[in-house]
Amino acid sequence: MTASANPIVPTHFLKHIIETDLSSQRLATKHWAGRPGFAAAQLTGPLDSARIRTRFPPEPNGFLHIGHAKSICLNFGLAHEFGGVCHLRFDDTNPEKEDQLYVDGIIDAVNWLGFNWQDTQGTYMYFASDYFDNMFTCAVAMIQSGDAYVDEQSPTQMREMRGTLTEPGKNSPWRDRPISESLAQFHAMREGLYPDGAMALRAKVDMASPNMNMRDPVMYRIRHATHHRTGDKWSIYPLYTWAHPVEDALEGITHSICTLEFEDQRPFYEWTLQKLTNLGFFSEPLPKQYEFARLNISYVITSKRKLLQLVVENHVKGWDDPRMPTIAGLRRRGYTPGAVRLFCERTGVSKSNSRIDYSLLDQALREEQDPVANRSVAILQPLKLVITNLPTDESVMCHAPANPHDPTAGQRNFPFTRELLIEQDDFAEVPPPKYFRLSPGSLVRLKYAFVVKCTGCVKDDQGQVIEVHAEYLPETRSGTAGSNTVKVKGNITWVSAQHAVPAQFNLYDRLFTDPFPDQADAQFVEALNPNSIEVVQGWLEPGTPLDQGLLQFERLGYFVVDCVESTAEKPILNRVTTLKDTWASSAP
């Protein structure tokens, strides 16, 4: 991991909490029987050899994005750092939007980021839907203990009775119904005897609580829907806020790390675990919930729902479009797992929301790749340069380091010939001030080759420059004693026209023009940048290695072969990022 090239690993409040828990031995009595289960089963197992257990709990209703990467790096990273394990748990309690396709995508994304959920003791990949029976058992026990009841109000009535932030709610007329009635109705709900929304199971907490989430939250609702794993077995499904503490406790999670919007749910999380512990299902040490600020990035949307809309409405070419902030998109664009991890680490863990600039990710990529990426030359906007004093049938082999930071990487070899291709903006017939590239009469070094003197240009009928002419100075060859005899200020890249390899280059810009595209709910599609992709047909230095990861094209940036559309006959390269931050001046 190149991330370790940065020896300063920032500390944060979650690490402090874990350090305290470990030094106080708070978790020392925890048992783990090798699989999720109630305390009775766990206590038959040995003391847990994992010092902490964290979890990454995605809902498989979309592909993961850079925000999830943050949570993955945090949860897997903490487990790794403190000798624990991190569970990959699919929170698939909501049947309608979930799909195996997303499960596979998530597994792929977490693996790609460099994390896994196996160790010598086991494999820690779980599905919340595997706990439906456990959850049902807990719910029945809570009805029996008087901590839950079946409410037959309509969803609208329930909402009306809930009160507001300034007014307490009112008790449902069903709140104090006999336990036996609630039990019978809960079983009838399960058997599918009632339509969706006819009734719900609610926790009996406090309708006057200042925390709205404690006003008898719904635990189970009726949903006649087919689940991607349990099929039609269930017609009731648990709600996340109730299911989540149960899932955590079944898995022996020690630190349940959530984003800040779950802060108000914490009292119910603790209430649920306390009730279920009193009922004998779980035992101390119980999981504890902690919240951190989610990752927000300027000009980027991190909401699965909105990203789905971009895909469905064809604003992008699928979940893995290189402009998407999905992990699949970042990967295809050419960002590396190491750069994403470094970015996540650097953005820190805090309790207050902020917005991070996307350029930090580019910076992480540059830092990681500069020492390792192979160098090459590409010409994106070609203009012909004719070396008039070099005969057509002559060529000079030139050399350059494959990687100037790594002598073992070897060298590139490419011919200097009469007809070359240079970038259009490396020639100006009337040069602006301080222009050190080609213009009539100027001297410029063609990198790794010779100093040339520009002698003029040829134009077409419209006055467009179609050819530049120059003479090379044979004694100035790079790498020879004479290379310094003529001093020049400009140094430009080139390829031999006859040997250059044609390729397509996809140049990307931000997907949105608004720094806060996800704030106004309805308008984010209107903030799409119409110029988020520019496709150009250009040329590659002959011999450019296209199968060895990222390339740094001199002066242009980091590129990678597009893993979906590129072919051997027609290479397509994505620009990951430029060599310098071109956005900094306009960043918010």
- Tokens coding 468: 């530049």
Say how far residue 364 (Cα) sits from the centre of its chain. Answer: 14
Task: Respond yes or no: is residue 489 known to be catalytic.
Answer: no
In DSSP notation, 34-50 reads: SS---HHHHTTSPBPSS
Q: In this chain, which of 162, 294, 315, 317 binds ligand ATP, going by CB under 6 A? A: 294
User: 238 near 135, Cβ under 8 Å?
Assistant: yes
Can you tell me whether residue 24 is helix, strand or coil? coil
Contact 407, 400 (CB under 8 A): no
What Å distances lie between residue 479 and 32, 432, 452, CA to CA?
66, 31, 16
Residue closest to 330 by CA, chosen among 135, 563, 127? 563
Q: Which two tokens stand for residue 67?
A: 């925000």
Please list every residue from 297 through 336 that binds ligand ATP, using CB under 6 A. Answer: 302-304
Q: Closest separation between CB of residue 229 and ligand ATP, Å? A: 16
* C-beta closer to ligand ATP: residue 268 or 553: 268
Minimum distance of ligand ATP from residue 257's CB (angstroms): 7
Q: Residue 61 or 209: which CB sits closer to ligand ATP? A: 61
Tell me the window of 51-59, 181-189, 225-233, 564-572 that interacts with ligand ATP (CB under 6 A): 51-59
Residue with smaller CB distance to Mg ion, 292 or 494 = 292
* From 51-59, 141-149, 374-382, 493-501, span contacting Mg ion (CB under 5 A): 51-59
Amino acid identity, residue 271?
A: W
Q: Which residue is nearest to Mg ion (CB)?
A: 59
Tell me phi and psi for residue 38, to 5 degrees: -70, 170
Nearer to ligand ATP, 143 or 364 (CB): 364
CA dist 145 and 179 (Å) reads: 8
> Which stretch in 58-66, 132-140, 401-409, 426-434 sits in contact with Mg ion by CB under 5 A?
58-66
Q: Which is nearer to Mg ion, 92 or 151 (CB)?
A: 92
Residue 570 corresponds to which tokens in the numbers above?
């027609």
Binds ligand ATP (CB under 6 A): choice among 138, 295, 421, 511: 295
Out of 57, 169, 382, 557, the residue judged to bind ligand ATP by CB under 6 A? 57
The order of strands in the sheet holding 148-151 is: 148-151, 200-203, 218-222, 236-238
**What number of chain residues touch ligand ATP (CB under 6 A)?**
14
Q: Cβ of residue 375: shortest distance to ligand ATP, in angstroms?
A: 35
Q: Which residue of the set 15, 26, 35, 59 is catalytic?
A: 59
Token pair 């010939």 is found at 417
Could you confirm whether 419 is annotated as catalytic? no
In the list 150, 199, 258, 457, the residue contacting ligand ATP (rule: CB under 6 A) is 258
Residue whose CB is less far from ligand ATP, 113 or 258: 258
List the structure tokens of 329: 């998109």
Least distance from Mg ion to the Cβ atom of residue 24, Å: 32
Residue 294 annotated as catalytic: yes
Residue with tokens 């101390």: 284
State how far the alpha carbon of 495 is from the alpha carbons of 62, 172, 395, in Å.
44, 78, 12
Residues that bind Mg ion (CB under 5 A): 59
For the annotated catalytic residues, the residue numbers are 59, 294, 304
What does the binding site for ligand ATP look like in residue numbers (CB under 6 A)?
Answer: 57-59, 67-68, 70-71, 258-259, 294-295, 302-304
